[in-house]
Each structure stands twice: as structure tokens, then as C-alpha cells.
């Protein structure tokens, strides 16, 4: 009914008719995200990781406390389908030999000693989601006392695969929960800072500068060193997460503040105020949604930093401690060359860190590009 304003409007109109005109922002972002192949693959990896986190007792062949003193630092086994005694999924057992001088035990695969492996086998009992008692494991030796160490064992004789599965739960959830905490802090303080301005802005910005000016690792160490050593692992886990979040919110708060500063002058904000909206409603219902996709992108981009921070802290011995198991705790094992030269599989937790960090980065990149309205 109205005449279009100019050529740019007209082309926009044509594009619009090709898609449903009511496509929401999230759908537009998803369409753009799907085109980013690497990000999509990474998203699947992360989805798998989430599954592992939720079902970790089921995925791990052995329980987190399982320890086999007979096989310390045993090398990974290879899954086989065929042996002299017939068809069937199995691994070879070990024969061990101790060097009389160095006392180091070396293991070799022993094809004679067949360990049958099955899916959904009975094993150690556990409680799924913390309340469903069950004893099945995704994969495991049909006889739970047989050794099946697909990724080898640790210096303590624990199954590395199971340990990595449990560590994934801890490390990834530290990252995710920590980032969520940091984001709540960052968004609220950044919003207040940018929206109200004045002394509130001044105070918040000075606090941010103060936190940012202190080098991160000594700051974590300082906080973590204040924790009593005999603390219960769960409490320690939450406190470490909180410490990481308290250091990490600053960057996001600045970003959010900048967005609020630039949006504050928009007329739709003035009109929301004249509509009688409260400040909170204006900030979180009117302003925040206009960059929520950027926040989600920033969220997935900052999880890696958090995971690395936890890994570093735990590796230094100031974060989580055994019996809690995280990638950083596991990598402590791999920090001695004498150990590592004989047992390179102990670096697998490090590979997990790299994989997950990269995946979060790619997903974050993909989301950021997809959320950028100037790209498409």
C-alpha cells in the first residue's frame, strides 16, 4: 500500500518473500550456522560430550574408584574381532615382565589370553542420574574382573578411558557452569554500567580494570590457596568454579556495557520508557534480546578459557585434587618425562582438552558469524 523508500528496500523485500516473513532471529541464525561445516561438526562433538557428561557412569567401563594394582601403566589394548578361538569382540590380555634393575614393569599383549568384550555388559553398580540404580555399561569385559583397558591404565592402575570419561564431566561442567556464573555477573553488571551510566558505571568499570590488571594465574592461585586442603571435593569443585567465574566476568561485562551504551540512545528505548516499562524490563526485555545471539556466541567462545583455566589450576595442584578427577588432575601424571616416555597414552586427557576447546571455539565462531546481520 505504501511506496517503497528506495532500491535497497526493494531488494530486501524480494529476499523476504523467499523466506517466511515471520522467521525469527533464532531461525535465521540457525540457517546461517548450518552453512559453517566445521562449526556443525564441532556442534556434534559437543553434543556427544554432553551425552558423555550426563551418562558418564554408563559410558565408562569401570567405576571412578576402580583400581587394578596388577596393571599399572599398562598400554592401550586393541579391539579385535577374530582370534584363533573364534569370532567375537575381544581384546588380548597382558603378560607382564619386571625389569630387575629399573623395577619398571613392561606389558605385552598376549593373544593366548582372550578377554571377551561386550556391549551393555554387567559391571560395577552405579546410580544413573544419581537415583536410578543400574549395573550395565556401554562397553566392558564380559567378566568384570578381566582387564580391558582400551586407552591403557594410569600409574595407579586405573582405567584411563573411564577416568577420562569422569574427568570430562568435571572439566566440561566446570567450564559450562563457571561461564554461566560469569555471564550472569557480566550481563547484570555490564547492563547496569551501560544503561545507567554515571557513578554506577564508574564504580563497575574501575572494579573491572582492577581485576583485569592482576595477572590471572596468581589471582586464581591466591584464591585457591586460601581453601583448606581437607575440603570435601564437591564443595571444592563449586568454590573453584566460582573463583574462575569471579575472574572471568569482566570481559563480557565490558562487551555488554558497550552494547547497552550504544542502544541506550535508540529511540525504541526512550519509547519503552515512555510506555511505562521499569528499568529492569527495558534492560532485559527490550535491549538484551537485540544482541542475545552475540551473547550466546560469546558464551561458547569463553567456555574454552574456563576449561583451560581449570586444567591449568588443577595441573598446578591448586585446583581440584584427587580423588576428584579432571583433565588437569590427570595431566599431573603426564608431567614427568620419565613417566611419559614409557606411557604416552597418559597424554590422552590433553588431547581431550584440545578437542573440546577447539570444538567450542568453532561453534562460537560459527554462531558469531551466523548472528552477524551484516554477513548475509
Partner 1 sequence: MSEKQALLEIEDLHVRFPMRRNLLGRPTVEVHAVSGVDLTLFRGETLGLVGESGCGKTTLGRTIVGAQKATSGALRYDGTDLAALSRREQAASRRRIRMVFQDPFSSLNPRMTLRQIIGDPLVATGEARGAELEDRIAEMMRRVGLSPDYMDRYPHSFSGGQRQRVNIARALIVGPELVVADEPVSALDVSVRAQILNLLRELQAEFGLTYLFISHDLSVVENLADRVAVMYFGRVVELADTGALYERPRHPYTEALMSAVPIPDPSLKGRKGRILLPDELPDPSNPPPGCAFARRCAYAEDRCGSGEIPLADGSRCVRAEELDLQGIVGAQS
Footprint on this chain of partner 1 (rule: CB under 8 A): 1-5, 9, 12, 16, 21-22, 25, 266-268, 270-278, 281, 286, 289-290
Q: Alpha-carbon distance 36 to 38, whole Å?
A: 6
Q: Are strands 132-141 and 105-128 parallel, antiparallel or unpaired?
A: antiparallel
Q: 263-290 burial string, b = 16+ CB within 10 Å, else e?
A: bbeeeebeebeeeeeeeeebbeebbbee
Cis peptide before 43 (omega within 30 of 0): no
Between 155 and 277, CB nearer to partner 1? 277
Between 1 and 81, CB nearer to partner 1? 1
223 CB-near residues (< 8 Å, 6+ apart):
243, 246
The nearest distance, CB 120 to partner 1, in angstroms, is 47
Burial of 339 (0-12, 13-18, 19+ CB in 10 A): middle
**DSSP-derived secondary structure for 89-109:** EEEEEEEEEE-TTT--EEEEE
The nearest distance, CB 37 to partner 1, in angstroms, is 28
The nearest distance, CB 255 to partner 1, in angstroms, is 18
The nearest distance, CB 7 to partner 1, in angstroms, is 13
Between 30 and 119, CB nearer to partner 1? 30
Q: Are strands 132-141 and 80-83 parallel, antiparallel or unpaired?
A: unpaired
Give strand pairing partners of 153.
159
Give 226's Cβ-side CA count (13 Å radius).
8
Between 215 and 276, CB nearer to partner 1? 276
Between 16 and 127, CB nearer to partner 1? 16
The nearest distance, CB 289 to partner 1, in angstroms, is 5
H or E element that contains 120: strand 105-128
Between 16 and 156, CB nearer to partner 1? 16
- Do 153 and 159 contact (CB within 8 A), yes or no? yes
Between 32 and 139, CB nearer to partner 1? 32
The nearest distance, CB 190 to partner 1, in angstroms, is 18
- Do 90 and 80 contact (CB within 8 A), yes or no? yes
The nearest distance, CB 1 to partner 1, in angstroms, is 8
The nearest distance, CB 54 to partner 1, in angstroms, is 32
Between 25 and 95, CB nearer to partner 1? 25
Q: Where are the alpha helices (DSSP H) in 157-287?
A: 160-196, 198-213, 216-225, 233-264, 267-274, 279-281
Amino acid at each position: 500500500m505504501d511506496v517503497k523508500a528506495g532500491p535497497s528496500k526493494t531488494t530486501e523485500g524480494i529476499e523476504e518473500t523467499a523466506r517466511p516473513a515471520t522467521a525469527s532471529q533464532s531461525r535465521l541464525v540457525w540457517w546461517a550456522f548450518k552453512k559453517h561445516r566445521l562449526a556443525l561438526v564441532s556442534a556434534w562433538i559437543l553434543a556427544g560430550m554432553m551425552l558423555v557428561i550426563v551418562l558418564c557412569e554408563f559410558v565408562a567401563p569401570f567405576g571412578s574408584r576402580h583400581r587394578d594394582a596388577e596393571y599399572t601403566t599398562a598400554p592401550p589394548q586393541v579391539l579385535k574381532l577374530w582370534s584363533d578361538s573364534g569370532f567375537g569382540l575381544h581384546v588380548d590380555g597382558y603378560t607382564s615382565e619386571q625389569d630387575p634393575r629399573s623395577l619398571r614393569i613392561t606389558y605385552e599383549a598376549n593373544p593366548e589370553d582372550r578377554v571377551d568384550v561386550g556391549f551393555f555388559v554387567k559391571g560395577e553398580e552405579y546410580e544413573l542420574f544419581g537415583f536410578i540404580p543400574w549395573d550395565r555399561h556401554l562397553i566392558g569385559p564380559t567378566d568384570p574382573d578381566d582387564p580391558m583397558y582400551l586407552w591403557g591404565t594410569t600409574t595407579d592402575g586405573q582405567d584411563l578411558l573411564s577416568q577420562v570419561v569422569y574427568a570430562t564431566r568435571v572439566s566440561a561442567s566446570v567450564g559450562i557452569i563457571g561461564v554461566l556464573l560469569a555471564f550472569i555477573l557480566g550481563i547484570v553488571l555490564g547492563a547496569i554500567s551501560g544503561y545507567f551510566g554515571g557513578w554506577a558505571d564508574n564504580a563497575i568499570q574501575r572494579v573491572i580494570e582492577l581485576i583485569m590488571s592482576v595477572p590471572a594465574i596468581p589471582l586464581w592461585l591466591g584464591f585457591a590457596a586460601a581453601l583448606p586442603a581437607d575440603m570435601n571435593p564437591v564443595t571444592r569443585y563449586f568454590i573453584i568454579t566460582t573463583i574462575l567465574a569471579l575472574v572471568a566476568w569482566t570481559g563480557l561485562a565490558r562487551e555488554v556495557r558497550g552494547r547497552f551504551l550504544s542502544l541506550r540512545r535508540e529511540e525504541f528505548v526512550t519509547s519503552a520508557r515512555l510506555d511505562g516499562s521499569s528499568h529492569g524490563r527495558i534492560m532485559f526485555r527490550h535491549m538484551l534480546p537485540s544482541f542475545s545471539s552475540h551473547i550466546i556466541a560469546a558464551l561458547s567462545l569463553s567456555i574454552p578459557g574456563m576449561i583451560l583455566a581449570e586444567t591449568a589450576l588443577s595441573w598446578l595442584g591448586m585446583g581440584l585434587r584427587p580423588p576428584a578427577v579432571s583433565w588437569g588432575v590427570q595431566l599431573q601424571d603426564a608431567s614427568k618425562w620419565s613417566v611419559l616416555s614409557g606411557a604416552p597414552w597418559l597424554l590422552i586427557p590433553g588431547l581431550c582438552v584440545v578437542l573440546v576447546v577447539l570444538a567450542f571455539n568453532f561453534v562460537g565462531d560459527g554462531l558469531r558469524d551466523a548472528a552477524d546481520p551484516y554477513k548475509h
